[in-house]
Amino acid sequence: MSNAQSTARQPRIVIIGAGMAGILTAIKLREAGYTDYVIYEKTDRVGGTWRENTYPGVACDVPAHGYTYSFEPNPDWSQTFAPGPEIHQYFEKVARKYGVTDEVRFNEEIPECIFRDGRWHLKTSKGREDVADVVIAATGVLHHPVVADIPGLDTFAGACFHTARWDHRVPLEGKRVGVIGTGSTAIQITSALVDKVAHFDLFQRTAQWVIQIENNFYTEQDKADFRTRPERLKEEITKITGFFDAFANAVIDSESAEMKEIEKSALDNLENNVRDPELREKLRPNYRAGCKRMIFSPDFYEAIQHPNASLVTEGITRIEPKGVRTADGVLHELDVLVMATGFRADAFIRPTTVLGRNGVNLDDVWEDHPVAYLSISIPQFPNFFMLNGPNGPVGNFSLIRIAESQVAYIMQLLEQIRAGKCREISVSAEASASFEVERGAAAKKSIWATGCKSWYLDKNGVPASWPWTPTRFFAEMQAPKLDAYELS
């Protein structure tokens, strides 16, 4: 009897990561009748990015009702764009409700994951060894902080930390605070802190396009309606989904009328809300709106015009014990220095060592740039599936909506194993290469390829995101094309 004809069995499944996608995966595995699975989590709590990022002003830039599991709506979101602690509480509550927390082995990182003798052999940071038929990497996208290599950084005499490692023991009121970086995180911190500190310096290397949004608070009546009138909540979700689908359709075609409308909105926000012409020009990007990840903020331009705030655009020469020295010779004296310098967007499961068939190393496969078929499967890495992996629509859809569809897709692959139709399944090299050629060509037509530097680009300058419509993505996720896979 061949492997493909073997009897149905209960595969052993390891999930890596207990963030949004890991919690979701565990819930869906149990729902589908899988019983032999475990989650390894490198820290002491569930929640992923919402556990790690606790900086002032942290919030999701997707409206809360659109950043919610479809099977677990939350009528009690406090506002349109929920703050980070509220989102973290939501994931903790869902994990408890569905019994996921009891299935997590906390404080166990996975430094090694090796495919040998038809199964995955894992070692944890606690020395535990585990053997699994299937590994699902729910390790997230932005979780390895990048600290800029600035001369003298270690000489700063005050408190200094990355936004993802915020030190809440450090008092901020009455202090001189400097933030290096102008991504979404830095913009949120600016709005949260500018009127609470003695002085606030925002060090800008690259100006950002900002779309003004309304962050409305839901009334108790709104929440009551969401609880008792499902159609009202569905209307809210449909409205949010429609907005982001329209945005996703716009950014994949840099010349589309929809993209031009988005650019106009960003330009109008700058022109209409920054009074000082000199500051306005400092805040004016020299690239097209959408080329970098768009910033959504209700009040950034108002915040940066606060009397306590300074936008510093001169390049940083070095860090000194008393502050930041810029290229014009000025020393910007600070008590607290915050690095809002982003994350390694190309890390994914790394630094875990992942070895596939015949010892092929994932680092070698990804030496040029990370790739995965439909952001899920990699040739020569059987029964190894990724959620929100390389080349997915991380920049233009709600991550929960993406993850739910990817989990449903992976479940269909798992069923091939459970039903005894195969023991091993992974995308073929031919299907993966063909997909990547098509994806790369389409990506060059997107707004991300119009001439700026961003974390969307791989080292060859090609956008690394999903370059097609939401409709195509969710259609692909409906059912795997098994002829693209090798089953054995």
Give the domain-ending residue among 308, 339, 370: 339
Instruction: Report the predicted TM-score, pTM, of the whole model to 2 decimal places.
Output: 0.94
Per-residue pLDDT of the chain (488 residues; tens, 9 = 90+): 334 434 467 899 999 999 999 999 999 999 999 999 999 999 999 999 999 999 999 999 889 999 999 999 999 999 999 999 999 999 999 999 999 999 999 999 999 999 999 999 999 999 999 999 999 999 987 778 888 889 999 999 999 999 999 999 999 999 999 999 999 999 999 999 999 999 999 999 999 999 999 999 999 999 999 999 989 999 999 988 888 888 888 999 999 999 999 999 999 999 999 999 999 999 999 999 999 988 999 999 999 999 999 999 999 999 999 999 999 999 999 999 999 998 876 778 988 999 999 999 999 999 988 999 999 999 999 999 999 999 888 766 688 999 999 999 999 999 999 999 999 999 999 999 999 999 999 999 999 999 898 878 888 888 888 999 999 999 999 999 999 999 99
On whether both 189 and 213 belong to a single domain, the answer is: yes
Q: Would you say residue 191 lies in a domain?
A: yes
Residue 351 has a pLDDT of: 87
Residue 84 within any structural domain of the chain: no
Tell me, yes or no, whether 127 and 182 share the same domain: no
User: Does residue 299 share a domain with residue 398?
Assistant: no
In this structure, is residue 83 part of a structural domain?
no
Kindly report the CATH number assigned to the domain that includes residue 199.
3.50.50.60
- Residue 1, pLDDT score: 33
The residue segments making up the domain with residue 407 are 3-46+100-144+344-487
In a domain, residue 472? The reply is yes
In-domain check, residue 236? yes
Output the 3-class SS for the chain.
CCHHHCCCCCCCEEEECCCHHHHHHHHHHHHCCCCCEEEECCCCCCCCHHHHCCCCCCECCCCHHHCCCCCCCCCCCCECCCEHHHHHHHHHHHHHHCCCHHHEECCCCCCEEEEECCEEEEECCCCCEEEECEEEECCCCCCCECCCCCCCHHHCCCEEEEHHHCCCCCCCCCCEEEEECCCHHHHHHHHHHCCCCCEEEEECCCCCCEEECCCCECCHHHHHHHHHCHHHHHHHHHHHHHHHHHHHHHHCCCCCHHHHHHHHHHHHHHHHHCCCHHHHHHCCCCCCCCCCCCEEECCHHHHHCCCCEEEECCCEEEEECCEEEECCCCEEECCEEEECCCECCCCCCCCCEEECHHHCEHHHHCCCCCCCECCCECCCCCCEEECCCCCCCCCCCCHHHHHHHHHHHHHHHHHHHHCCCCCCEEECHHHHHHHHHHHHHHHCCCHHHCCCCCCCECCCCCECCCCCCHHHHHHHCCCCCHHHEEEC
Same domain, 275 and 404: no
What pLDDT sits at residue 395? 65
Taking only the tens place, the pLDDT of each residue in 375-424 is 999 999 999 999 999 988 876 668 899 999 999 999 999 999 999 999 99
Is the domain of 414 the same as that of 481?
yes
Is the domain of 282 the same as that of 361? no
Residue 54 lies in a domain: no
* pLDDT at 396 (0 to 100): 61
Dump pLDDT digits (tens) for 85-140: 999 999 999 999 999 999 999 999 999 999 999 999 999 999 999 999 999 999 98
Domain shared by 318 and 443, yes or no = no
Residues 191 and 129 reside in one and the same domain: no
Count of the separate structural domains present in the chain: 2
Domain end position, chosen among 324, 339, 354: 339
Q: Are 109 and 14 contained in the same domain?
A: yes
Say whether both 237 and 370 belong to one domain: no
Question: Do the domain assignments include residue 79?
Answer: no
Q: Is residue 479 part of a domain?
A: yes
Assess whether 286 and 179 both reside in one domain: yes
413/304 same-domain check: no
Q: What is the mean pLDDT of the chain?
A: 94
User: Which of 339, 361, 377 is the last residue before a domain boundary?
Assistant: 339
